[in-house]
Structure 1
Amino acid sequence: MTPAPGSCLAILGSSTPWSGTESWQAVTVDLVARRSGESGRQAGASSAMAASGGPAQRTHEHILREAGFIDVAEYRFPTPHAWTMDEFIGFAWSTLYTAPIRESPSLTMGFERDLRAQLRECEPSGHLRESIAHYYILGRKPDA
């Protein structure tokens, strides 16, 4: 389906705890990587791959421009967020990044206990604070 002339497209998104810079996020990513045998911060792999000479990652903006959209612009608005420890652990268990751990009883044993202990070391209050980077990208097809 080809967008009609003058039509607009919006892409909505946000950062995730996997790509954050808080110490508790780094501890979580490292523990998941160690337990699952996966390497490093998976959610940040695209920028790391591009920086390390790996395959260049095309941005949403680049793809929109290639598709003939004009006036392409990104708008960001950071939003403070605090997880309770239980909320975050529930979130972590529900993501693709912990799938290798969930699927193996030997990996699952002790994971949550170890994650809680390491998170408490980073944030004794149990409140895991971050800034979520919400964004939207707009593009418009030229008028006919």
Structure 2
Amino acid sequence: MTRPDQPACTEVSDEALFGPEAADYARYRPGLPDGAVHLLAATQHGVPAPVLLDLGPGTGQVPRALLPVLHRLVHIDLVDVNASMLQAARAALEPLRGACTVDTVTGAAHTFAPAAPGRAPTLITCSRAFHWMARSEVLSMADRVAAPHAVVAIMGDGSLWTHEAQWTAVLRELIQSYLGADRRAGTRGTYSGPGRSFQDDLADSPFSEVAEHRFPVSRAWAPGDVLGYLRTTSFARPALFDGRHPEFEAAALQLLQYHAVGGVLKEDAVFTVLLARRPGGTA
């Protein structure tokens, strides 16, 4: 069965950041490339009863992709500061999970502890969210809770803010004309990047054996879908615009339609997966 939320950890649910946009997040955020999904599943080869711990799951993209491929998955823990996201993820997993149990934990990733013995994660994933976390503390937590041969997978592919194309450049300029030159970061002011690479974070952690896997992806965006995606981001979510969001979306739609070729805006990106194990493992 799918179990109810565990009590919140030291951080309360951050509904102010993405709570109202959970439905848009599920609809407009790109999923994982098939190659990345099969890579994650392959890390569990020979594991009799895989357990997944997904940190910052959003609306559950990682377990939704894994369940049809990794049929032996017996338990999933989802940890997020946003209760609305967890509720959406749990609902999305219900028709897919079969006999796999699911727990949701509202709280900060680094404070997670398994709710019951025998649930040491064999795969710990974090997709497009590691930069928001207390990264060294998260990796210390992973070392405390993970099975001896567990794999940590840190994944991501940037965003339309960082993607370099003519249409994303003019879109970024439009956002800056409303919100200022610095990239906004939701309720936390501005965002300047993680300061050091995730590879360095992993190298200084117990999971220091790291292999990098890169998956080129090509996406075709409709202008309206880009607007939906922007509503889910920390740099262009509606609450940042102080009542001017309808005006911004009208201007953005006009701009995107102008730059679309045959109604399509092309994004060529690379989805990167860092697989990390404790020394002696095989990443």
| Bin of the TM-score, shorter chain as denominator length | 0.7 to 0.9
- Structure 2 Cα separation of the partners of residues 74 and 57 of structure 1: 19
SS in structure 2 of the partner of residue 75 of structure 1: strand
SS in structure 2 of the partner of residue 17 of structure 1: coil
Q: Deviations over 1:116-138 (max 9, x none)?
A: 22223322533111013211101
Paired position in structure 2 for 1:133: 270
User: Normalized per residue, which structure has more strand?
Assistant: 1
Q: Quickly say closer, same or farther: Cα 1:102–1:57, change in 2 above 3 A.
A: closer
Is 1:8–2:151 an aligned residue pair? yes
- Structure 2 Cα separation of the partners of residues 37 and 44 of structure 1: 12
Q: Quickly say closer, same or farther: Cα 1:78–1:71, change in 2 above 3 A.
A: same
User: What is the identity, as a one-letter code, of the residue corresponding to 1:131?
Assistant: D
Shift of 1:94: 2.5
TM-score (norm 1): 0.76
Which of 143, 159, 170 aligns to 1:27? It is: 170
Identity %: 27
User: What is the identity, as a one-letter code, of the residue corresponding to 1:141?
Assistant: R
Query: How do 1:59-138 residues align onto structure 2 when only pairs under 5 Å count?
Result: 59-99=197-237, 103-105=241-243, 107-138=244-275
Shift of 1:99: 3.2
Structure 1 stretches lacking a partner, 5+ long: 47-55
Q: Quickly say closer, same or farther: Cα 1:45–1:24, change in 2 above 3 A.
A: farther
Q: Quickly say closer, same or farther: Cα 1:95–1:121, change in 2 above 3 A.
A: same
Q: Answer with 18-27 or 118-127: which moved more.
A: 118-127
Shift of 1:59: 1.2
Larger RCO (alpha carbons 8 Å, 6+ apart)? 1
Structure 2 stretches lacking a partner, 5+ long: 1-140
TM-score (norm 2): 0.42
User: What is the identity, as a one-letter code, of the residue corresponding to 2:153?
Assistant: A
- Structure 1 Cα separation of the partners of residues 239 and 150 of structure 2: 44
Q: Quickly say closer, same or farther: Cα 1:37–1:70, change in 2 above 3 A.
A: closer
For the Cα contact (< 8 Å) 1:24–1:119, is it kept in 2? yes
User: What is the identity, as a one-letter code, of the residue corresponding to 1:15?
Assistant: G
Shift of 1:83: 0.8
- Structure 2 Cα separation of the partners of residues 117 and 124 of structure 1: 13
User: What is the identity, as a one-letter code, of the residue corresponding to 1:32?
Assistant: I
Stretches (4+) displaced over 3 A: 3-7, 40-45, 99-103
User: What is the identity, as a one-letter code, of the residue corresponding to 2:217?
Assistant: T
